[in-house]
């Protein structure tokens, strides 16, 4: 998943980035409201972690502007302010949660996981998928308790499709959310097709995977499970 961290305390921002990167999140950083707004205007994010005390603009104003461009993102306010009114206002403006500084990175992880479960209507880390089970926490795909040997990117791709169950995701969306920003790279949608082909080959050796649908000219989706 793709995360934007808008935090002017650079040491804290880099610590969050390093921590979440180890958990396989794709992270972008911004240290001012202006830089944060530029990021949300040009990218789609799953999570936006937003400091209220930014040097050039109040974080609550940025929250309002950011939601116009990324309405589907989950917003977590990071604040050192003790004022309950600010926290309540942030929630009223559309934030999903807030964390008071200083906070534990493990607590941040837990809050993000809880939001993801609500957002994607996943009530457990073990999700059925046809004749398979996907363990989102341990990052495993299982068939009758036998682990399917998927690469990191293959698992990221499959789990992202699963979390957006029944929604068509374009190749560009998949590439951006799994590989990060490709604006400065030679983007090639064939990367996605190759990984999908590998997923199908590996998993079809165990059972049918007719739930993974190609939407011609657009991208891929996981069909509704019967």
Residue 4 region by backbone torsions, left for phi larger than 0, else alpha for psi between -120 and 50, else beta: beta
pLDDT tens for each residue of 96-112: 998 888 899 999 998 99
Domain with CATH 3.40.50.2300 in the chain: 2-119
132-135 and 140-143: which strand pairing?
antiparallel
- Measure the CA–CA gap between 92 and 115, rounded to whole angstroms: 16
Superfamily (CATH H level) for 2-119: Response regulator (3.40.50.2300)
Q: SS3 string of 2-31?
A: EEEEECCCHHHHHHHHHHHHHCCCEEEEEC
Domain with CATH 1.10.10.10 in the chain: 126-222
Torsion angles phi and psi, residue 142, rounded to 5:
-125, 145
Two structure tokens written together for 153: 């990117």
Does the structure show a pLDDT above 50 at 5?
Answer: yes
In words, the CATH class of domain 126-222 is: mainly alpha
pLDDT tens for each residue of 117-165: 787 766 667 888 989 999 988 889 999 999 999 998 899 899 889 888 8
- Closest residue by Cα to residue 226 from 145, 126, 159, 129: 129
pTM comes to 0.74
Percent above pLDDT 90 for the chain: 43
pLDDT tens for each residue of 155-198: 989 988 988 887 888 888 888 777 765 444 444 558 889 999 99
């Amino acid at each position: 998943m793709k995360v934007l961290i808008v935090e002017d305390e650079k040491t804290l921002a880099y610590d969050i980035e390093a921590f979440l990167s180890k958990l396989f999140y794709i992270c972008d950083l911004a240290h001012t409201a202006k830089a944060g707004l530029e990021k949300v205007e040009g990218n789609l994010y799953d999570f936006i972690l937003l400091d209220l005390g930014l040097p050039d603009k109040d974080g609550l104003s940025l929250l309002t502007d950011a939601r116009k461009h990324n309405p589907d993102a989950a917003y977590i306010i990071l604040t050192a302010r003790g004022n309950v009114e600010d926290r309540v206002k942030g929630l009223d403006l559309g934030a999903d949660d807030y964390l008071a500084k200083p906070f534990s990175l493990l607590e941040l992880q837990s809050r993000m996981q809880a939001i993801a479960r609500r957002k994607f209507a996943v009530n457990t880390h073990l999700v059925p998928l046809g004749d398979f089970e996907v363990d989102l926490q341990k990052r495993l795909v299982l068939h009758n308790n036998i682990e399917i040997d998927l690469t990191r990117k293959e698992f990221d791709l499959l789990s992202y499709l699963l979390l957006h169950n029944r929604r068509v995701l374009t190749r560009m969306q998949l590439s951006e959310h799994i590989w990060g920003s490709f604006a400065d790279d030679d983007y090639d949608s064939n990367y996605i097709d190759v990984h999908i082909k590998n997923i199908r080959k590996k998993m079809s050796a165990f059972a049918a995977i007719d739930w993974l649908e190609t939407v011609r000219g657009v991208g891929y989706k996981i069909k509704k499970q019967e």
